[in-house]
Amino acid sequence: MYKRKNPMDYSDCSIRIPVDIISGSWKIWLILEINKGVARPSELYHSIAIAPRRVLTKQLKELELQGIVGKTVYPVLPLRVEYYLTAAGKDLIPILEQLERWGDKHKSAFINVIEGSE
């Protein structure tokens, strides 16, 4: 996993913590899909089919290291893995839902700006 040359100082700005956690191409979608009960890697790959598997796997690992998701590995063959939200991950859900409501409210204006700039 990538390590910053200059580690981020979170002591002066707490907003950096959640922004760093959810800033990844697919992290928000992974969190929301796991919250819906999509727990196995193959299910996550199918539910977010447009994302490369390698990227999803990397971001799942980052979310696990950040304490947002946990992973249960079952000692069976073939190997079975399931992801779940930790308490910190569950605390993110209302925030992400609020972001979604904000997006719904401002979607048309945002789309008009983007389409107008092309």
* Structure tokens, 102: 């904000």
Domain assignment present for 10:
no
Domain count, the chain: 1
Please report, as a single letter, which amino acid is at residue 68.
Answer: I
Domain assignment present for 52:
yes
- pLDDT greater than 90 at residue 12: no
Range of the domain at 76: 16-117
- pLDDT greater than 90 at residue 33: yes
Domain assignment present for 6:
no
For residue 68, what pLDDT band results from cuts at 50, 70 and 90? very high
